[in-house]
Structure 1
């Protein structure tokens, strides 16, 4: 079996995030949790994933503080999985992936699930990255200040 590379001590926030939730099953479990799934069987039916894989992914998400295990809301002896505050903070990530998928993997008239504002019953606006002063930013408008690399007085790296 190939050993998985770990990024939990990387100085890159993207690498650490991928380390925590980077496989597709974990992201789909989080998506389903946002959609209201709480029990093992609900996740299994929705995803069609093998029980051993689901069990492993749920355990990793709980250990990572993304999901919590709580007693079943109906008072039965079962338990349920609920998003923690850390897990709920993944909401913009799920919305961004959804919107990216809508824009790149569906024809304009092709039907697909749609996320709507519960109160207004309208589709969401497309997410945008904004500067601290409110300007819309694109990739060319940003730089990453990497750790342990020399900086010039303007914050750029020497060539």
Structure 2
């Protein structure tokens, strides 16, 4: 690995569905999902990903993260055991994609059923929540993410 790669990480990251589905965190009740791209590395909770192949860490071990800093991109995998509050983002766009199963979302005052392969794009200010019903594996891509400062509950 070059000094540049060690400082910034790989030039691409491959997130295979089979590895995301096998992530031990997603088997836990009330988990927080698994971020692969995040605004910052969290001391003791995540490490900079050193290679392009993302693999889930062993249970209780820190995550491999590609740190995006001010670029504001986050990518996370989650399932029906992941807890989420209804929220909206002031600036961020979010793209939810169903990898397996069927996922229900409340978007504004509508309930939407998303099937495997479906995506929904949420514009800034759109109130939403993923419902913890059924069985699914999904991914969310957040662009122009400002972290907690961008997120409004309700």
Identify the TM-score tier after normalising by the shorter chain. Answer: under 0.3
Higher helix share: 1
Q: Which has the higher contact order (CA 8 A, sep 6+)?
A: 2
Q: Could you state the TM-score of these two structures normalised by the residue count of structure 2? A: 0.25
Q: Could you state the TM-score of these two structures normalised by the residue count of structure 1? A: 0.24
Larger Rg: 1
